[in-house]
Each structure stands twice: as structure tokens, then as C-alpha cells.
A = this chain, B = another copy of it.
Amino acid sequence: MKNFRLVPQFTPVLLGTLIVFFTLHAPLAAQSPENDVDAAFVRSIYDKSLTNGQCYPWLEHLSLNIGHRLSGSAAAEKAVQWTKSVLDTMGLDSVWLQPVMVPHWVRGEAEQVRVTGSPKSGTFDLKALALGGSVATEGKGISAEVVEVKSWEELDKLNERGIRGKIVFYNRPMDPTKIRTFEAYGGAVDQRVSGPSRAAKYGAVGVLVRSMGLAIDDYPHTGSLRYDSTYTLIPAAAISTLAAEKLSKLLKTEGKATVFMKMNCRMLPDAPSFNVIGEIRGSEYPGRVIVVGGHLDSWDVGHGAHDDGAGCTQSMDVLRILKTAGYRPRHTIRCVLFMNEENGLRGGRKYAEEAQRKNEFHLAAIESDAGGFTPRGFSFDGEESVIGKFFEKVAAHQALLEPYGLKLSRGGSGADIGPLKGMKGLLSGYSPDSQRYFDLHHTAADTFDKVNKRELELGAASMAALVYLLDKYGL
């Protein structure tokens, strides 16, 4: 089989690239026998998650068999029943549904947003999604001239005279120089949230918002708006970043543009729904609760895979991992899948109300709602004294988490656990890598295939490891 001589000089090459990353971090130094126990347990959590994690197949089912699940939809109800049925099989001490009434907004027929009669470009569609909660356009749709603004100052300066009867187009992009993309989102999303009513105040008849995304592509990003009932409720849609660039360019080159909008979304009466809850009762402090959770509802496009199927299935897997490890927690460990984070936060509020009513003390609540990407750390919020105690008693052991790339820092937490804030517990947000999140968030592109199995599993393990440290070292 040897037709020619193969010079066997490849040797040093082949393993060359391997050497690169082996010694990036030294193995965790054993500081005490207890430290060894902790390190071994944390290691076993990651091993379990990476070899036998269930969050990925669960997310596959939630994404492909149930799909997106806006509050009040049949799919949201399916998601409630299915996740409960999964928790039921885990041998937990208790699994239940917590009733909550939720807003029930429906998109209706696909929205039409179209530039009409451009002298150079004729008539063409802009990829758009009605904003969640938007009213419909009346009758056969509206047609109006578009006026572009990038700031509230520009809007206020245009005033009634420049705005009445027009469609306001908010086109301030997310700032790409922010390293953490959530910060860029925070610097632009006011346009989507407050834009419709602030434009209506000056007599606008409709609103278009540049999508909250950093990539220039053709996926519109939906999301909630907040109407101020002082003003007329006008229809509002997000257009893709590509459509926004196109429309802006047309306005520059042609001086004006007319857009046709037709949307028949509407708000139905509130619908009954549930938070899905499962728990392992604490052996020493059953009345002191550590929550891990995400939100089960999603927008009505894509699969809601990263937002927030990921956080839900990771939270479920935290309980499964601890349970199958035979771990008997001192505190009650509870997984909560909140309903209606996207357009109401009714689930988060209901959960906090019930906790208060039953006088349950929430030692800590961790939310995963930033996508199923590689773990970078957790941020912590709460009263100063609580944070202080946390950094003294639990974060003192953070070296245990370093081999897994985790940093513990002060910061915010999560929308659903926010209502627990007054109750003197610790709140924490799981913080994965944020670079890809806003390519997918609230779009048809947020599908299961965008989730990497290992990244998702590493997140579940990281949450379980933090729960373990919180349970062991208390607060």
C-alpha cells in the first residue's frame, strides 16, 4: 500500500496546538479537608451535567414540540403541563402549579409594513413585527409620511408641527462598543418602551422602532411597549436593523418616505395560567428557601430557546442534578418557572405575593434569563447587609468556582425575582457570555439549533454549584 515515501516529519506539529490550553489554570489548591470535599462535590456536579445533563433534551422538546409560548397561548399552557410532568418524575418532595392570571395579547395576521411610492425604489416591504401589547391599525391600515429621530431631544424639537399625522421612526442603534451587550440594550430600549406614547403625545399616528439588535440583519425583534394612557394608543412595530438602515438611507437620499402599516394584533381578556414549581425540602431549615428559576413564557416567534427555555430547563436540571447526587440540602431548594416575564411579570409578582402571604423566607433567588451561553459568573443584588454576609460567608469560597470560569460580582439579578427584593434575601442573576444574545432575543432566530449543548450544561452546573455553596454556607 506504500506507493510513495511519506516523510515522517509531522511529529512535532500534530500535538502542537494541544499544548496551548492545558495549563491555563492550575488545579484548585486544597486548602483544607472541607475545601477538598467542596471541590469534589462541585466537580461531580459538572461531571453529571456534562455527561448526563437533561437540560438539552428538555429544551429540545420545549422548543420543537411545544415551540414559542406567549402568555395566555395554548402553547404556554402546554409548556406548563409538560414541565410539571417532568418535575413530577424527579422524586422531588413537592411539585405544584401556582395559579396566576396573565395578559393575553395576540399578534393576529402577519403585520405589513411597507414603503410605498418611492421615486427610486418603488414599493417594498420592511421586515417587521408588531411590538407586544401594540394596538392594531384601524380599518385597512394606515399610510403616512415617516419622520426619523434618534433621540428624545430630536423628537421634542420636531414637536407637534413636525410629527402630527406622521409615523415616527426611532433609529438610535445599540452601541456596539459596549462590551456587555445588555448595556447596549439598556441604552436603546427606551425607544421601544416609551417611544409609542411619546410620539402619540405629538399627534403621531404610528411608530416604527429599529430592532434592538447589534447585528445588521433582517430579523425584526419584538418586545414590550408601555403605553401612557394619557395619549392615544397608536400602533407600533419593530423593523429589522437592515430595514432600518434602508429606510434611513431612503429618507436621506429622497428627503421623504411614506409607509403603510397594517397590524391586527389585539389584547384579549386576561387568561388563567401558572407558575410551575418543584422543590426538595430542606433537612434543617425547610422554611428557608433557595430559588432557581427562569421564565416559561416567551415571545410569539422562534422557539424562545435562549429566552428563556434555556433558563427554565437549566433550573429544572439543577434540582435533578442535586437529587440524583443524593444531596440532602439543609435549606429548601425550589425551582420556579415563572409565567409572563415578557409582557406583564404577573408570575413574578404572584410568586412574591404568595411568599409574603405564607411568610416564607427566601434566603436567595437565582435567575437564569440571559441565554444558554458559556458561563462567566453571577451578579448579586440585595440589601447591603445581605450582600456583605454573602461575600463574607459564601463568596469566600469562590475559588471553588474559578476552574469553571465563574466570577462573582455585585450587580442586578432578574426580572422575575425582582419582586422578592423587599424581602431581605439575596438576589442573583446568572451571567453567561452576552455576545450572541441580542442576535436572537425576541426574534424568529431564537431557535433550538442556536443553543450549544455544552454551554447550556455548563450553565446548569454553575447554577447547581452556587446553590450548593449557598445551602452549605448559609447567610
A-to-B contact residues, CB < 8 Å: 1-25, 46-47, 50-51, 103, 133, 135-138, 176-177, 179-183, 185-186, 189, 193, 214-215, 223-224, 226-229, 232-235, 266-267, 341, 343-345, 369-370, 374, 376-377, 379, 381, 403-405, 407, 409-416, 418, 429, 431, 433-436, 439, 452-455, 458
Contacts and interface: CB of A to CB of B under 8 A. Distances in A.
A13 B452 contact: no
8 contacts: A1-B233, A3-B135, A15-B189, A18-B182, A20-B369, A21-B180, A21-B370, A435-B455
Given A1-B233, A20-B414, 12 more contacts: A1-B135, A2-B232, A5-B229, A8-B226, A8-B229, A10-B343, A12-B418, A13-B224, A18-B189, A23-B410, A24-B377, A179-B405
A306 B219 CA distance: 25
Contacts of A182: 17-18, 20-22
A415 B4 contact: no
A233 B7 CA distance: 12
A175 to B, nearest CB: 9
A1 B452 contact: no
A369 B13 CA distance: 13
Contacts of A15: 186, 189, 193
A436 B435 CA distance: 14
A461 to B, nearest CB: 10
Main secondary structure of the interface of A (DSSP, over half): loop
A445 to B, nearest CB: 12
A108 B409 CA distance: 55
B20 A177 contact: no
A304 to B, nearest CB: 14
Contact of A411 (B4, B21, B229, B267): B21
A46 to B, nearest CB: 7
B13 A344 contact: yes
Contact of A176 (B50, B226, B369, B376): B50
B138 A1 contact: yes
Nearest to A341: B13
Count chain B CB atoms within 10 A of each CB in A14, A223, A381, A458 and give the residue with the most.
A14
A181 B455 CA distance: 12
B16 A345 contact: yes
A117 B318 CA distance: 45
Contact of A454 (B133, B214, B232, B345): B214
Contact of A228 (B1, B8, B341): B8
Given A18-B186, A183-B22, A176 B418 contact: no
Given A1-B234, A267-B6, A454-B176, A431 B21 contact: yes
Contacts of A452: 435-436, 439
Contacts of A23: 379, 409-412
Given A22-B412, A179-B458, A374 B453 contact: no
A192 B465 CA distance: 35
Nearest to A419: B12
B135 A415 contact: no
A376 B21 CA distance: 11
Contacts of A135: 1-3, 6
Contact of A435 (B266, B343, B374): B374
A17 B229 contact: no
A17 B320 CA distance: 26
Nearest to A176: B50
A462 to B, nearest CB: 11
A226 B379 contact: no
Nearest to A51: B176
Contacts of A7: 103
B10 A224 contact: yes
A28 B412 CA distance: 19
A215 B433 contact: no
A443 to B, nearest CB: 15
